[in-house]
Amino acid sequence: MDTLVVQNAHSLLSSNSSLSYITLTPSFFLHQVRFSTLPNHKPITRTRIRSALKFSMSLSAKNPGFEQQRLIIPNKHGEKLVGILHDSGNKEIVILCHGFRSSKESNTIVNLAAALEKAGISSFRFDFSGNGESDGSFQYGHYWREADDLYAVTQHFHESNRLVTAILGHSKGGGVVLLYASKYHDVKAVVNLSGRYDLKAGVEERLGQDYMERIREDGFIDVKRPGSSSEYRVTLESLLDRLNTNMHEACLQIDKECRVLTVHGSSDTVISVEDASEFAKIIPNHRLHIIEGADHSYTNHQDELASQVVNFIKETFHQDKDT
């Protein structure tokens, strides 16, 4: 594979070459930006390159040991999952999972990666299949399939002699990490940010009244935003996949030794804070933290969110060392 290494951002941004893959790593004086041309990947615009460079440099200034690397990991269906490794050089790593119709570039996920980096903790944020830059088409539901995507990621790091100490998910990703823990039993800590307890709830708000009759008649429902074209399609199969995913039964299967932190905003209008209390009732080794006034995306509460997450993961590291 041919690789072009550019020693300064000016030559990169003035280049007319077609670029589809980027890895950012620190150099002694200047950042090196390494590009490779890979098939079947979405092009990276120069605006996104500038943003990535700015983010990379700001983290490096705070953390001299910082290294940010782009990785592609295949899932069991042969689809390429694209992610960013924030490597502080230690063996332990935290995997970060985005929410519904989101990506590894969401503010919540990027800010948590930065907070973990500042604390000297490595993390990996990636796009589930059908989202962001990863292969595949977007599918409504498919919680268990995303849990299997996460398994492909954790196995990649295990095989690279890294220890996946914790997995974290926001919104739908919160449900995914809990499902993962109930099935695979190979992580010691799980962080559920604003996850939904009852997956039958919230469907009517998104699909409209009489959604089951309409989808059985037509075979699908196109979800649209006001004043826009179709955003995504919900098929009967994908709808039933969500409705038949039982978070209560799954959470009962989580190992008692696995530590679970649930964080939720008291002003969340997307998923009720009451869902967080339901998780607290059934998960044995559980900690609940409600952030007063926070919305679903923790828009004005990123610092408090990061503090709770980082401290919880640090405690997990210390318990492992004591053991």
The structure's pTM equals 0.79
- Output the pLDDT for position 10: 33
Q: Is residue 225 part of a domain?
A: no
- Output the pLDDT for position 2: 31
pLDDT digits (tens, 9 = 90+) for 113-145: 999 999 999 999 999 999 999 999 998 999 999
| 195 sits in which H/E element | none
- Output the pLDDT for position 5: 32
Q: How many domains does the chain have?
A: 1
Q: Is residue 58 part of a domain?
A: no
Q: Is residue 210 part of a domain?
A: no
- Output the pLDDT for position 224: 82
- Output the pLDDT for position 302: 97
- Output the pLDDT for position 162: 95
Q: Is residue 216 part of a domain?
A: no
Residues of the chain with pLDDT under 50: 1-44, 59-62, 64
Q: Is residue 12 part of a domain?
A: no
Q: Is residue 290 part of a domain?
A: yes
- Output the pLDDT for position 104: 98
Report yes or no: 275 and 196 within 8 Å, Cβ to Cβ: yes
Tell me which residue range forms the domain holding 140: 67-198+246-320
The sign of the torsion formed by the CA atoms of 315, 316, 317, 318 equals positive
Q: Is residue 2 part of a domain?
A: no
Report yes or no: 124 and 197 within 8 Å, Cβ to Cβ: no
**Partners of 232 in beta bridges:** 223
Q: Kindly give the residue spans of alpha helices, DSSP state H, lying in the chain.
A: 9-13, 46-62, 107-118, 143-159, 172-184, 203-207, 211-218, 236-243, 247-251, 274-282, 302-322
- Output the pLDDT for position 146: 97
Strands ordered across the beta sheet of 22-25: 4-6, 32-35, 22-25
Q: Is residue 267 part of a domain?
A: yes
- Whichever domain contains 189, its CATH number is 3.40.50.1820
Torsions phi, psi for 302 (to 5 deg)? -65, -35
The DSSP result for 223-265, as a single string, is EE-TTS-EEEEEEHHHHHHHHT--HHHHHTTS-TTSEEEEEEE
